[in-house]
Structure 1
Amino acid sequence: MTKAGVRVFLLAGLVACVQLFVSATPSQAVGQVTAFKQAVAEAAAQDRDLAAFYREYGYQPLWTGSSRKDRRRRAALFDAIAAADDHGLPSARYDADSLLRQLDSVRSPRDRGLAEVALSRAFLSLARDMQTGVLVPARIDSDIKRQVPYRDRKSYLTGFAQSDPAGFFRALPPKTNEYSRLMKEKLRLERVLAQGGWGPKVPADGLKPGQSGAAVVAMRNRLIAMGFLPRSATNSYDTQMLQAVQGFQVAHGLTPDGVAGSGTMAEINRSVSDRLKSIIVAMERERWMNKPKGQRHIMVNLTDFHARIFDNDVVTFETRAVIGKNDSTRRSPEFSDEMDHMVINPTWHVPRSIAVNEYLPQMKRNRNAVGHLKLYDRRGRQVSRSSINFNAYNASNFPYAIKQPPSQRNALGLVKFMFPNKYNIYLHDTPAKNLFEREKRDYSHGCIRLQKPFEFAYTLLAKQENDPKGFFHATLNTGRETRVNMVDPVPVHIQYRTAFTRAKGPVQYRRDVYGRDGRIWDALEKAGVSLRAQQG
């Protein structure tokens, strides 16, 4: 049935059943109401939330009545199902055709009761998927610690019963600018896909300024198609093309040197489908975070190797970051928490996993190894290494804590930013400044290292100190470990986006450094999400 046909059918109502009810005698009408309610109760019995809603609703119809509001509710539901693909949702899961056939075949109050509950089931599935996502994050990757703001299922039904039907559905998806821009990009890429994509791949592993020939022409055409180069007939890698490559590199998190080396070429040759998958995954991830992020908040995008402070959805500070190394014990997790203090001149309390797996083996070979670290017994007393037989211990029975006192050489640098969490992840300074010059920056044990930690601190302190820089350095110059509380705790969101947007300029794409977005796409595809090509 066409969308127009669906509209006509839904607005007309359940004609056969309504006529049957109208022509019935009073006693028959009572029997039909009873049969309807019994069918609803029976069909809803296996779903606790559905059963509770209809019990409280007096087993009245939410969808299958003959009133104007019932017709509007049905129309709004089917309109929302029709729009599910726009949101990257698995539209087949809600099975509009099956629901329409069931409505069309209603011939008795019992049929109507069964159709009533079928519509509510589809509604609940669609509403939750649209608001908080199709997938359960932790089932996809154990390092996605995201606490999804799930809403009570019954509240969807009670809320819908009291709301404008179309308005209720409009309110479900995230209302962030990010989500709106991602959806806009999704629809744009679908049109590009329908037109055949960005043309043939560039048949070269790399190209340099000054070169010419067929490969340069192919790269020119792809850069034009992607919007990084104005229309041009050049067949040489000239200054204009170099600038276009730089623009592409900036938008893809690459070193903007204007040279199309192997890394840049691999990204230029990515397909529209690949980018579309990243967008759909990013929309799903945005649904997992569908609650206020905070008027002021900190966002760390692991794939982008950056940390940013946002005020009223505007970036007010950003710095490069180093994230956890891509191995099973070091990858940085994804979660949200609140930063409530910073520590200036921090002591590094070496995590036990690092102490026994990295430092104990070194001290077994040479008791004076890693001499900048101090050992403490269970009572907090410093212990001389000369009194310890390191070979008597292993990872399970090593009884000492290892700490590094405040200093320029401290592994945490001179300041750390704390949002206490069970994963022992925080943001901090580092003496290893050279790593920030690298394009791919996954080197830490899981915490987030900042290139500009002092400036990061000034920005945070500016909300509570008249002279944030002076306050910070006066505290730093004492050389003593000092805790500075945030007067207003700042939400911190550690996220992972291979596609994200900015208020202006092209959509940003990044490499899938931990492979997480690939796993999410596979799970979405298994759930029924598919790529589509749309004519403009």
Structure 2
Amino acid sequence: MGLALALLGLAGPALADPPAAGIPAPGPLARPTAEAQQRLAERLRRLEEDGLDPHAYGVPEDAQALADPAGYQAALQRAALLALTDLLHGRVTSLPNRPDIRRDTAALPMGPWLARLAAAPEPAAVIDRAALLPPGTAALKRALAAARARVAAGGWPAVPAGSDTLEPGAVDPVRVPALRARLAASDPLVPPTGDDTYDEALVAAMKRFQEAEALEPDGRVGRLSFAALNRPAEVAVRQLRAALDQRRAAGPAPTERHIEVNVAHQRLQVIERDRVLLEMAVIVGKSARATPMMRVRLTSVQFNPPWGVPERNAREDLLPRFRRDPRAMMEKGFRVFSYVEGQRVEIDPMTIDWQTVNPQRFPYIIRQDAGDTNALGRIKFVMPNTEAIYMHDTPDRHLFRRPDRAFSSGCIRLERPLELLDLVLEGAAGWNRGQVQRVLDSRQTTAVTAPRSLPVRLHYTTAVVEGNEVRLRPDIYGLDAAYVRAMDSTRARVAQR
């Protein structure tokens, strides 16, 4: 703290620490005018526009400038120091189970910034510069301002859900006018007035809303659509606050070819030197079985993989299906095993009384043979980790047409696995589409090591900036809400050298 105060002109020479290595000693300090100090205080009181809570920084009241000028200046500079630290390095240093958030604070050393703040005749400008440093910040701040304005205006108009689905063409004197008012508040193409008919124009607007919310864009307003329409406006504020802070001092992406999976947006990208080589839709874990965030490396590929069914999947997903029709499960390649006197033996599913099987003490091991109906499809991408998460093909191709694709038990299902395979096996001797097809046609389980392991990051970013626009997807796992709680509970830190 001594060096920081010295750079700000708040500590005398006898109290100041010597300059740290690599930090130039400050030159003659500028003396901000009273007006410049007032503008700095005003800027710090507007830290909410950056997603921060101004009350966390102890910004002094203007009245103190007259009653206690020295104390006012000291408090103001300390507030500026702490705010500058959070704007550059992020308010939240780390969170449990969020390895996808990694900061490179060494790339933004505080010393030069503190020197700028101390020497600037207009210190508020230094705060502005730091606030806009991360890419995409300007667009996120505009979106945050709009979201805060909506909250200040009382939020979104409510839409009564009722007991049934609102179908296109329906006449409803209560829900249709409410729906029209709600959509008009967020969609400039919707006229705010009309009759009680859920007409084509309103259905088209509802489809646009559903697509933006990662819902089935069919125009039918059911339980999930009503929930999205009535989501509190404060939710977007939280998401945008989290997005702003997560970008601060974000660690650099690998320069080598790597894979990024945005779980919240359910998209995969293969990137090399800032160029997107491949992009596709993916299916991620449902909220009850969330895909964990992680940083791993893709090391190998397995063709025609069998599926060793995890116990939770077996008792929660497969047991009801075995109870309904064990023969159909056999036809889909499912096999049942148990341990008898320490030896694993296969059991005919038709001989088991599935109705009496206790799901809390599931006694069997389930395995699905490789084949067209296998849950992993025909290709599995192996990336060793403690969570048993991998990327794979799937026979359920129709699910990729849905904007909401949180259906899996945690693993990543791929829309176009063969295209990813081309990039993963690039440079592997003898491997091309023809050889891949021969191996797939053989129906034999075959593994091949990738010629180079690829970094894979599974991350959770609900706010994506595309050009000047911000695209928000629902906080399906509540991770943004948890992040904002950490922001608001974290004590303000003192800037490090």
Alignment TM-score, normalising by the size of structure 2? 0.69
Quote the offset at 1:185 in angstroms: 0.9
Which of 129, 134, 142 aligns to 2:91? It is 134
Q: Aligned pair 1:149/2:112, yes or no?
A: no
DSSP 3-state at the match of 1:184: helix
**Superimposed CA distance per residue, residues 433-487 of structure 1 (whole angstroms, 9 cap, x where no aligned partner):** 5665777554544221224322433465679899964454355345452324254
* 8 Å contact from structure 2 (residues 104, 251) kept in 1: no
Which of 202, 222, 228 aligns to 1:261? It is 222
Check 1:313–1:404 CA distance in 2 against 1; reply closer, same or farther (3 A cut).
same
Quote the offset at 1:428 in angstroms: 1.3
Quote the offset at 1:432 in angstroms: 5.1
* 8 Å contact from structure 2 (residues 269, 278) kept in 1: yes
Pairwise mapping of residues 71-470 of structure 1 onto structure 2 (< 5 A)?
81=44, 84-97=47-60, 105=68, 115=74, 119=77, 123=81, 125-138=82-95, 142-152=96-106, 155-158=109-112, 160-161=114-115, 170=129, 175-177=134-136, 179-194=137-152, 196=153, 200-205=157-162, 206-210=165-169, 211-227=171-187, 229-231=189-191, 233-235=193-195, 236-287=197-248, 289-292=250-253, 297-309=258-270, 312=274, 316-323=278-285, 325-327=286-288, 330-346=289-305, 372=335, 407-431=371-395, 433=397, 441-458=405-422, 469-470=433-434
Q: Aligned pair 1:493/2:457, yes or no?
A: yes
Identity percentage of aligned residues: 25
Q: Which moved more, 1:213-222 or 1:257-266?
A: 213-222
Check 1:350–1:207 CA distance in 2 against 1; reply closer, same or farther (3 A cut).
closer
- Which of the pair is proportionally richer in helix? 1
Q: Aligned pair 1:521/2:484, yes or no?
A: yes
Q: CA RMSD in A?
A: 5.2
* 8 Å contact from structure 1 (residues 499, 508) kept in 2: yes
Check 1:92–1:234 CA distance in 2 against 1; reply closer, same or farther (3 A cut).
same
DSSP 3-state at the match of 2:60: helix
DSSP 3-state at the match of 2:105: coil
Check 1:525–1:219 CA distance in 2 against 1; reply closer, same or farther (3 A cut).
farther
Distance in 1, Cα, partners of 2:260 & 2:368: 28
The one-letter code of the counterpart of 2:216 is T
Q: Which runs of 5+ in 2 are unaligned?
A: 1-7, 319-325, 348-364, 493-497
The one-letter code of the counterpart of 1:202 is V
Check 1:485–1:385 CA distance in 2 against 1; reply closer, same or farther (3 A cut).
same
Check 1:476–1:119 CA distance in 2 against 1; reply closer, same or farther (3 A cut).
farther
Quote the offset at 1:99 in angstroms: 11
The one-letter code of the counterpart of 1:39 is L
Distance in 1, Cα, partners of 2:277 & 2:63: 47
Distance in 1, Cα, partners of 2:366 & 2:93: 38
Check 1:464–1:153 CA distance in 2 against 1; reply closer, same or farther (3 A cut).
closer
The one-letter code of the counterpart of 2:53 is P
Higher relative contact order (CA 8 A, sep 6+): 2
Distance in 2, Cα, partners of 1:169 & 1:452: 43
* 8 Å contact from structure 2 (residues 206, 219) kept in 1: yes
DSSP 3-state at the match of 1:299: strand
Check 1:313–1:91 CA distance in 2 against 1; reply closer, same or farther (3 A cut).
farther
* 8 Å contact from structure 1 (residues 278, 499) kept in 2: yes
Bigger Rg, structure 1 or 2: 1
Q: Which moved more, 1:336-345 or 1:435-444?
A: 435-444
**Superimposed CA distance per residue, residues 21-78 of structure 1 (whole angstroms, 9 cap, x where no aligned partner):** xxxxxxxxxxxxxx9233345xxxxxxxxxxxx454899985xx86338889x97976
The one-letter code of the counterpart of 2:194 is T
Which of 441, 447, 470 aligns to 1:482? It is 447
Quote the offset at 1:261 in angstroms: 1.9
Distance in 2, Cα, partners of 1:229 & 1:203: 22
The one-letter code of the counterpart of 2:218 is D
**Superimposed CA distance per residue, residues 69-118 of structure 1 (whole angstroms, 9 cap, x where no aligned partner):** 8889x9797687355322201222222327995998476xxx89x949x9
Quote the offset at 1:298 in angstroms: 3.3
Check 1:57–1:407 CA distance in 2 against 1; reply closer, same or farther (3 A cut).
closer
Quote the offset at 1:286 in angstroms: 3.4
**Superimposed CA distance per residue, residues 386-406 of structure 1 (whole angstroms, 9 cap, x where no aligned partner):** 9xxxxxxxxxxxxxx998775
* 8 Å contact from structure 2 (residues 51, 241) kept in 1: yes
Check 1:237–1:452 CA distance in 2 against 1; reply closer, same or farther (3 A cut).
same
**Superimposed CA distance per residue, residues 351-371 of structure 1 (whole angstroms, 9 cap, x where no aligned partner):** 798899999xxxxxx9xx996
Distance in 2, Cα, partners of 1:229 & 1:58: 56
Distance in 2, Cα, partners of 1:58 & 1:296: 33
DSSP 3-state at the match of 1:225: helix
Distance in 1, Cα, partners of 2:310 & 2:249: 30
* 8 Å contact from structure 1 (residues 198, 222) kept in 2: no
Quote the offset at 1:237 in angstroms: 1.7
Distance in 2, Cα, partners of 1:506 & 1:234: 30
DSSP 3-state at the match of 1:485: strand
Q: Which runs of 5+ in 1 are unaligned?
A: 1-12, 18-34, 42-53, 360-365, 377-381, 387-400, 530-536
Distance in 2, Cα, partners of 1:354 & 1:265: 30
Check 1:452–1:36 CA distance in 2 against 1; reply closer, same or farther (3 A cut).
same
Quote the offset at 1:223 in angstroms: 1.3
Distance in 2, Cα, partners of 1:417 & 1:260: 38
